[in-house]
A and B are shown apart, each in its own frame.
Chain A
Amino acid sequence: MKSVSLSRWLLLGEWRAHILQVIVAIMAIAIGIALGYSIHLINTAAFNEFSAASKNLSGQSDLQVHGRSAFFDESLYPMLAKYEGVALANPVLELDVVMPNKLQNRNDHKLKIVGLDMFRATQISPDLLGVPVEGKRLDGLADDAIFLSPAAMEWLQVEQGDVLSLNAGLQTITLRVAGGLVRARSGQRIAVMDIGAAQWRFQQLGLLSRIELKLKHGVNHAAFKAELTKQLGDQYLVVEVTDQETRIANMSRAYRVNLNMLALVALFTGAFLVFSTQALSVIRRRQQFAMLRVLGFTRRQLLRQIVLEGALLGMIGSLLGLGLGYAIAAMAIQFLGGDLGSNFFPGIKPSIDFNPLAALTFFLIGLGVTVLGSMAPAFEAVRAKPALALRSGSEDAALSKLSTPWFAMFCLMLAMLFTQLPPVFELPIFGYLAIALLLIGGIALMPRFAARIFTSLQNVWGAQAGAMVTLVLARLANAPNQAAIALGGILASFSLMVAMAIMVTSFRVSVDGWLTHVLPADLYVRTVSVGDQGGFQLSEQKAMAGLSGFERVDFFRTQQLRLDPGRPEIMLIARPIDSIDPRNTLPMVDDAMTPTVLPEGVTPIWVSEAMVDLYGYRPGEKVSLPIGKAADTVFNEFVVAGVWRDYGRQFGAVQMQLADYQRLTGDTSVNNLAVWLGSGATLDAAMANLRQLPFGDALEISKSRDMRALSLEIFDRSFAVTYLLEIVAVVIGLLGVGASFSAQTLARAKEFGMLRHIGVMRRQVLVMLAAEGGLLTAMGIVLGFVLGWAISLILVFIVNPQSFHWTMQLHLPWGWLTMVAVIMLVSAAMTALIAGRRAVSGNVIRAVREDW
């Protein structure tokens, strides 16, 4: 007989006999792979589309020149146009204009308007040219014409010839939809205007966003870039398209990586499930394998057989997972968008592409975890001495190596070490490794814990406990390895769920507290501003501050600053700050420097935590920022007077006194104001007063409680996908309990048969199984809570700060955790019971006659 045939017989025989376990293991792997692969597909599609859309805007330029803030003076353009080595310079004004009727979606309410010199754009970004209707060729230069991409037309529900009203500052601008664009990416929402018209209409006269350069043939890009950078000085940034890509990658990387890690949780739980399926299968067939060894099956053949079984589970599960993942991704993109509802990639419509390399990677991950899950049981089976293994009762001893504490201790120690290491490429790689090691170490300690706890219980109750209690406790105390295997999946999923729940709650409570701190006023007012121009001039500020019923009005001036071409812009917020104690104004994370210790003559700034992480700003340190006169942005020196917590801007923000800002820049305009009402004044009356101002219609007025509610709603929507992934992980964990108990109860058929012979009733066997399941799960829940709490510390204090550059306080959602624990307890006991029914419904006579 060929060994291949024997291998096939053994495999098919085992799978036929235990088809349920096989299906559950395949499903676990398939779900894990499907989640991981679908999130990868969605993220990749969204990122690629976002990146491609940005490239589409950049055209075919070799280099771009940007200012430190969003706009710079156009006087630079003639100089660059004549610069040696430049074939073509293309001035661009790019504006994100708020669409008033889309304000309900705070993160996705802007239309990007690109102002172009149509003659130059034909050579550098021809795709962005407007396509006027026949006979109206000059529309491309008309000051009232705007060209929209198909997606923008659909979004705004307008057609060629329609009128489009936009708010800019305190004015309403009416433009004519003159046509479409030569080419825009599917779903890309952009509009194009003549640059002169855009400057005039949007009150950006004399300003540009960037100048795109096409270099002459033979010009060395790197050398040119270096020379131009030197020539232009610090107030300008010369960037390549690759810098742009890095910037886009930086913007979303933490989000993408964290989501991928979360998806891998399901796969991780699935891997435990495969391990438990294979381990229990090997235990069950221990005598069978010993017999095969006696008959002449070599160790290598046996090892190959067991690993092959695991690998086949992995292959089938992974293939199913890839198909399922593709379908989930396609549906999610269709119904939720490329950012799964979190609005991380607004204004694009990505489509899923099949990438064989990514598919192969995920297939190999699935295969890898199943083969790894099979290795330990396979080696145990191979190492077992046939003479000993042939005897019954040695099953738990088979897994005794699992209960040696050294491996677990090693994992835990390594995890501790990893928590102390810094991020890698600004990602908490060691944080994630620490979580994985903590989980593996914690689960590896399970047999020890189980033995200790249940032996203690046994000792406490003693022989007076009755047959059922004795049977249950003896089983759990003396066969801890099998118990631990059954619990592995549930422990993994529950601890990760606890960790995620604690992290999300800590984050939510911290955000809620932060919102209360940063939104202390009753009303917030802003103009539908364009770019960085302050919307309210002094006269308008005076008019608003003088309204009746206002007790206090604080004006804010916000502006974007670009400090590093490879990073997204930071936000500068100039506002009145309590200089005696900044904690009254800002949510400080540490003690701020008091004015008395500030050096004489320096201007204080307060930086967000992201500035510390990304730019290395430290309290007391002197830093230079491009905050100066608008005409020639100059760097001024500031001292970092403190660090504050900012959950709104993960790429960095700086706050300074409004008076300092106005002194340094001469800019007295503001974009926002916070209003505290006097006693007796009502919100509605105050809002009505504001609306009655001459420019009242252009005001965007928000109640602080609505802003807080909206922010929390966005927060909850962003985390909705994490709840879904947690639930999937727990369902996989419960499936694992079901599969493990099912396998164990089948393996214990002889035991139940004997018990039934000597007078144990069918329902007593079921109660025994439910009690075992319940006690094991209860222990798993307690240990899972401890483990989850430890993991949550890593998530809260390491992963989050390293990923998003913000810290938070720890908060435990006791009610939620209790509810999940009870659901898990009942589910696991029921699962054990259902699995047990199958075992006790079998033939009692046959059970005791079967040797294996």
Chain B
Amino acid sequence: MLELCKINKAYAEGRKVLTNLSYTLRAGEYVAIMGDSGVGKSTLLNLIAGLDTPDSGEIRINGVAISSLDDDASTQLRREQFGFIFQAFHVLPHLTVSQNIALPLLLNGAPTERVEQMLAEVGLRDRGHHFPRQLSGGELQRVAIARALIHRPKLVLADEPTGNLDPDTAHDILQLMRAEIKANGASGIIVTHSHAAAATADAILNLTKDGLHPAHAGHSQ
């Protein structure tokens, strides 16, 4: 599903973050990436999303090299095949919960009937007409999860999705996220500092300056 081949990336000031990194993520696989601050976890996520470009190496999604795509094509790729979950939720304040969730469907020109189902799946059945300011942090992240999965993406990328949540809510969200990713047949990558969060993934990878290394098994299948 996702192939990372000998990726090298340095920051603008010259500091290397990723060196000869290679990894293959299989379809339906859900992995967590952990590592020290500044080691390049979020950078890796941005490279995968086509929002940043590696200095060398190649990233392929279903066999298509992202570097060969122009801005419009990589945007189209994100629109159709990716789902994003951010630490700060990033739901649009002036759209209702339903509208926020429907956004990827609208962008893809798809019917929006599935919104009601997603609302029910993330436990916000009666909150569709509410605005984000009327929701709690946990509820906002549920909206973000629903939005990330509504269009049945192939790959969900989550960057510290529970960083802004209390442990109980975080636990619920992580379970929901895993369940939804699996239910939708998607692959997933979660970048986190939290061992509890990482434990919900199929596998945990440690990102070091030497590359990605398996840590230990994550969530029991």
Residue of A474, A751, A759, A851 ringed by the most chain B CB atoms within 10 A: A759
Closest residue of chain A to B87 (Cβ to Cβ) is A849
Choose one: A396, A471, A757; the contact of B95 (CB below 8 Å). A471
Instruction: Judge whether A759 and B112 touch: CB under 8 Å.
Output: no
| Minimum CB–CB distance for B142 against chain A, Å | 15
| Minimum CB–CB distance for B101 against chain A, Å | 11
Known: A396-B93, A848-B86. A762 touches B102 (CB 8 A): no
Closest residue of chain B to A849 (Cβ to Cβ) is B42
| Minimum CB–CB distance for A771 against chain B, Å | 15
Q: How far is the CA of A186 from the CA of B92 in the complex (A)?
A: 68
User: A479 an interface residue at 8 Å Cβ cutoff?
Assistant: yes
Closest residue of chain A to B52 (Cβ to Cβ) is A845
Instruction: Judge whether A759 and B104 touch: CB under 8 Å.
Output: yes
User: B54 an interface residue at 8 Å Cβ cutoff?
Assistant: no
Instruction: Judge whether A393 and B93 touch: CB under 8 Å.
Output: yes
1/0 contact string of B93-129 vs chain A (CB within 8 Å): 1111001001110111100100000000000000000
Q: B residues within 8 A CB of A397?
A: 133
Q: A residues within 8 A CB of B131?
A: 393, 478
Instruction: Judge whether A761 and B95 touch: CB under 8 Å.
Output: no
Q: How far is the CA of A125 from the CA of B110 in the complex (A)?
A: 93
Q: How far is the CA of A751 from the CA of B88 in the complex (A)?
A: 11
What is the number of contacts between chain A and chain B, taking CB atoms within 8 Å?
A: 100
User: A609 an interface residue at 8 Å Cβ cutoff?
Assistant: no
Known: A474-B99, A759-B80, A845-B52. A395 touches B93 (CB 8 A): yes
Q: How far is the CA of A394 from the CA of B91 in the complex (A)?
A: 12
Residue of A391, A753, A851 ringed by the most chain B CB atoms within 10 A: A391
User: A475 an interface residue at 8 Å Cβ cutoff?
Assistant: yes
1/0 contact string of B149-176 vs chain A (CB within 8 Å): 0000000000000000000000000000
Instruction: Judge whether A758 and B79 touch: CB under 8 Å.
Output: yes
User: A519 an interface residue at 8 Å Cβ cutoff?
Assistant: no
Q: How far is the CA of A463 from the CA of B49 in the complex (A)?
A: 28
Choose one: A392, A757, A760; the contact of B84 (CB below 8 Å). A757
| Minimum CB–CB distance for A468 against chain B, Å | 8
Known: A394-B133, A757-B51. A467 touches B71 (CB 8 A): no
Q: B residues within 8 A CB of A477?
A: 94
Choose one: B71, B107, B132; the contact of A758 (CB below 8 Å). B107
User: B9 an interface residue at 8 Å Cβ cutoff?
Assistant: no
Q: B residues within 8 A CB of A761?
A: 71-72, 75-76
Instruction: Judge whether A848 and B90 touch: CB under 8 Å.
Output: yes
Choose one: A391, A760, A845; the contact of B107 (CB below 8 Å). A760
User: B41 an interface residue at 8 Å Cβ cutoff?
Assistant: no
| Minimum CB–CB distance for B104 against chain A, Å | 6
User: A750 an interface residue at 8 Å Cβ cutoff?
Assistant: yes
Q: How far is the CA of A397 from the CA of B99 in the complex (A)?
A: 19
Q: B residues within 8 A CB of A848?
A: 86, 88, 90
Instruction: Judge whether A762 and B71 touch: CB under 8 Å.
Output: yes
Instruction: Judge whether B88 and A851 touch: CB under 8 Å.
Output: yes
Instruction: Judge whether B75 and A391 touch: CB under 8 Å.
Output: no
Q: How far is the CA of A851 from the CA of B91 in the complex (A)?
A: 13
Instruction: Judge whether A470 and B99 touch: CB under 8 Å.
Output: yes
1/0 contact string of A733-766 vs chain B (CB within 8 Å): 0000000000000000011011011111110000
Q: A residues within 8 A CB of B79?
A: 758-760
User: B206 an interface residue at 8 Å Cβ cutoff?
Assistant: no
Q: A residues within 8 A CB of B112?
A: 463
User: A466 an interface residue at 8 Å Cβ cutoff?
Assistant: yes
Q: B residues within 8 A CB of A395?
A: 93
Instruction: Judge whether A758 and B94 touch: CB under 8 Å.
Output: no
Q: Chain B contact residues (Cβ within 8 angstroms of A): what range?
A: 35 or more
| Minimum CB–CB distance for A170 against chain B, Å | 81
Choose one: A470, A471, A758, A762; the contact of B147 (CB below 8 Å). A758
User: A844 an interface residue at 8 Å Cβ cutoff?
Assistant: yes
Choose one: B42, B72, B133; the contact of A391 (CB below 8 Å). B133
Q: How far is the CA of A463 from the CA of B76 in the complex (A)?
A: 21
Q: How far is the CA of A479 from the CA of B96 in the complex (A)?
A: 12
Q: How far is the CA of A477 from the CA of B93 in the complex (A)?
A: 12
Q: B residues within 8 A CB of A474?
A: 92, 94-96, 99
Instruction: Judge whether A475 and B78 touch: CB under 8 Å.
Output: no
1/0 contact string of A380-397 vs chain B (CB within 8 Å): 000000000001111111
Instruction: Judge whether A392 and B78 touch: CB under 8 Å.
Output: no
Closest residue of chain B to A748 (Cβ to Cβ) is B92
Closest residue of chain B to A397 (Cβ to Cβ) is B133
Known: A478-B131, A757-B78, A845-B46. A750 touches B90 (CB 8 A): yes
Residue of A478, A756, A757 ringed by the most chain B CB atoms within 10 A: A757
Closest residue of chain B to A759 (Cβ to Cβ) is B79
Instruction: Judge whether A751 and B78 touch: CB under 8 Å.
Output: no
Q: How far is the CA of A397 from the CA of B89 in the complex (A)?
A: 19
Known: A759-B79, A760-B107, A845-B46. A393 touches B91 (CB 8 A): yes
Known: A393-B133, A470-B106, A845-B52. A756 touches B91 (CB 8 A): no
Q: How far is the CA of A391 from the CA of B90 in the complex (A)?
A: 11
Q: How far is the CA of A391 from the CA of B133 in the complex (A)?
A: 8
Q: B residues within 8 A CB of A466?
A: 106, 109
| Minimum CB–CB distance for B202 against chain A, Å | 24
Q: How far is the CA of A761 from the CA of B72 in the complex (A)?
A: 6
Q: B residues within 8 A CB of A392?
A: 88-89, 93
Q: B residues within 8 A CB of A750?
A: 88, 90
Q: How far is the CA of A394 from the CA of B72 in the complex (A)?
A: 32
1/0 contact string of A575-595 vs chain B (CB within 8 Å): 000000000000000000000
| Minimum CB–CB distance for B221 against chain A, Å | 30
| Minimum CB–CB distance for A465 against chain B, Å | 8
Which residues of chain B from 5 to 64 have a CB within 8 Å of any chain A CB? Answer: 42, 46, 49, 51-52
Q: How far is the CA of A466 from the CA of B49 in the complex (A)?
A: 24
Residue of A467, A471, A760, A844 ringed by the most chain B CB atoms within 10 A: A467
Closest residue of chain A to B86 (Cβ to Cβ) is A848
Q: How far is the CA of A395 from the CA of B96 in the complex (A)?
A: 15
Choose one: B52, B75, B89; the contact of A756 (CB below 8 Å). B75
Known: A757-B84, A758-B147, A759-B80. A475 touches B133 (CB 8 A): no
Known: A757-B78, A759-B79. A478 touches B90 (CB 8 A): no
Instruction: Judge whether B92 and A845 touch: CB under 8 Å.
Output: no
Choose one: A396, A479, A845; the contact of B51 (CB below 8 Å). A845
Closest residue of chain A to B112 (Cβ to Cβ) is A463
Instruction: Judge whether B72 and A475 touch: CB under 8 Å.
Output: no
| Minimum CB–CB distance for B127 against chain A, Å | 14
| Minimum CB–CB distance for B123 against chain A, Å | 20
Q: How far is the CA of A471 from the CA of B102 in the complex (A)?
A: 11
Instruction: Judge whether B49 and A751 touch: CB under 8 Å.
Output: no
| Minimum CB–CB distance for A333 against chain B, Å | 52
| Minimum CB–CB distance for B87 against chain A, Å | 8
Known: A474-B95, A757-B84, A761-B75. A463 touches B102 (CB 8 A): yes
Q: A762-B71, A849-B88 are in contact. List 14 more A-B contacts (CB 8 A).
A: A393-B131, A463-B112, A467-B103, A470-B99, A474-B96, A478-B93, A479-B93, A751-B90, A758-B84, A758-B103, A759-B104, A761-B71, A845-B42, A845-B52
A-B contact pairs, 19 of them (CB 8 A): A392-B88, A392-B89, A393-B93, A393-B131, A393-B133, A470-B103, A750-B90, A751-B92, A753-B90, A754-B84, A756-B51, A759-B79, A759-B107, A759-B108, A760-B107, A761-B71, A761-B72, A761-B75, A845-B52
Which residues of A are at the interface with B, using a C-beta cutoff of 8 A?
Answer: 391-397, 463, 466-467, 470-471, 474-475, 477-479, 750-751, 753-754, 756-762, 844-845, 848-849, 851
Listed from nearest, the 9 A-B pairs whose CB atoms lie closest are A759-B79, A393-B93, A467-B106, A478-B94, A754-B90, A467-B107, A393-B132, A479-B94, A393-B133
